[in-house]
Structure 1
Amino acid sequence: MIDYLMDSAYVKSLPYLWEGIQLTLYITIVGLFLGFIMGAIAGLGRLSKVSILRWISTVYVEVVRGTPILAQVLFIYYGLTAINIGEITAAIIAITMNAGAYIAEIVRGAVYSIDKGQGEAGRAIGLTERQTMRYIIWPQAFKRMIPPLGNQFIISLKDTSLFSVIAVGEVLYMAKQYYNTTFEIFETLIMVCIFYLIITIPTSIILRRVERKLDV
């Protein structure tokens, strides 16, 4: 039984899939980190009293959310030929832009959900509008962002599977490389799903616990 298992595609595909899942996580984490920065700027921009900032932020959010990430990464990789962007860089840019648009709405909703009296109280004790946002509103809003940000991590993680179209060596691409030579498609894809579930299920459990702890 052990010999059969060790000689099966379930085990033989592991080195390929391990290499792919590392790149998958790298693209997801870097893309989400940059996406949070972009999303925070765009989200606050949508709440800005400056019309041009509000307009630019709104256009960015609506355009990115209204187009599929597959089209976005193809445009970045094949469309921007003058810049000569590599496949991994294109994947990170696509995750950053796509996640940033959704995070912008998470940020906007979280900040907007804070009672207006909090801002008024901050200004009443002499804080500027920026200080009120930094010390009073943002810390409360950030707690409310944590659960949806975790959900965005799971979504972005799964979105990386689309980047195999530009030959990014993420886990699904490496799986294709393996089963194209061995023809062990079923077993290899089962292992791909297991790799994803090993990451997404614990993440979901942690998010539920954090949500209950923060009571948001």
Structure 2
Amino acid sequence: MFKRLHWLDILILFVLVILVAVVWYRIEGALNYRWRWEIIPNYILRWNEDSQSWVANVLLQGVITTVRVSLYASVLALILGTILGMARCASNLAVRMLARTYLEFLRNIPPVVVIFIFYFFLSEQLVVAFNIESWARGIARSEDKAVWEFLFGDMRRFPSLISGVIVLALFESAFVGEIVRAGIQSVSQGQHEAAQSIGMSRLQQMRFIILPQAFKRVVPPMANQFISLIKDSSIISLISVQELTFKTVELVASTRAIFEAWLTTALFYFMICFALSMLFKRLERQPDTR
């Protein structure tokens, strides 16, 4: 491995080591910061005297919520993005323009602004309109709630969770829609003409011919977008969704362990995203056996 290292690689590593050393010196020297790494494990897992078992504490609870929100938002974003991608390629001009307006609006406005717009004008209204808060509280008070808590966590916080999922999915669907559009347009015109020649409708062409080929081609950018969605999920901490970033802010406020908490949080995000990156890379290398 070392034989493959170029002198420039060694120089970059040396600079990074120096940078880390300088930052470490500034923290311990100039800031007079006292490291307390020993308290962090207890905020990941804690011993429950009642159940006599280890249970998730603040940071791990945040990780679990982040995974839940990212998973549900990615499914919803994929559905909405596929519809938007198809609309962008529709023959009807009005449909194309509506889809393009939605995509351009979201892709050219800062994410924080988009999050607040969707939260106050759409997501919160949906929660009230469907009476989700009362329904969630009813389940939280019932005895048969194990499945619900496994899927969504504490049902008393379900309204904020579902608001975060909706907001994140609406934001990410704009990027997924552009990926799907590019995939659809990458399929050659000959495929469309061949489908038309055997009497397929436009919907049948999309379902059986175009979309299967398009999705196969957009797997790499879609995988990257899913990883970006996990990192973007930290934004919904601004609307009080209790995911990893929100829990870290709470931990820092109560313990003042600023660097330990945020470095641990960064490590959790890295572990999740890196594991998914390796998984997607392996899936991309799978040979097509069809």
Larger RCO of the pair (alpha carbons < 8 Å, separation 6+):
1
Structures share a fold, TM > 0.5? yes
1:162 — aligned with what? 235
CA-CA distance at 1:84 after TM superposition: 7.5
Q: Given the alignment, which residue of 2, 17, 41 partners 2:59?
A: 17
CA distance in 2, matches of 1:84, 1:212: 42
CA distance in 1, matches of 2:257, 2:269: 19
1:61 — aligned with what? 103
Q: Given the alignment, which residue of 55, 76, 98 partners 1:34?
A: 76
Amino acid at match of 1:68: P
Change (3 A) 1:109 1:87: same
Q: Deviations over 1:109-159 (max 9, x none)?
A: 001001111111122223222222211111111111222111111111111
Change (3 A) 1:26 1:169: same
Quote the sequence identity (%).
31
* 1:147–1:210 CA contact under 8 A, matched in 2: no
Number of equivalent positions: 210
Equivalent residue runs for 1:40-189 within 5 Å: 40-79=82-121, 83=125, 85=127, 86-189=159-262
Change (3 A) 1:206 1:20: same
CA distance in 2, matches of 1:102, 1:189: 28
Change (3 A) 1:81 1:110: closer
Amino acid at match of 2:232: D
**Higher helix residue share:** 1
CA distance in 2, matches of 1:210, 1:145: 13
* 1:43–1:104 CA contact under 8 A, matched in 2: yes
Amino acid at match of 1:142: F
CA distance in 2, matches of 1:147, 1:105: 14
CA-CA distance at 1:101 after TM superposition: 0.4
Bigger Rg, which one: 2
CA-CA distance at 1:89 after TM superposition: 3.0
Question: Structure 2: any 5+ residue segments left out of the alignment?
Answer: 1-36, 45-56, 128-158
SS of equivalent to 2:209: helix
Q: TM-score of the superposition, structure 1-length normalised?
A: 0.89
Change (3 A) 1:84 1:145: closer
Q: TM-score of the superposition, structure 2-length normalised?
A: 0.67
Question: Structure 1: any 5+ residue segments left out of the alignment?
Answer: 1-6
1:3 — aligned with what? none
CA distance in 1, matches of 2:194, 2:186: 16
Amino acid at match of 2:102: Y
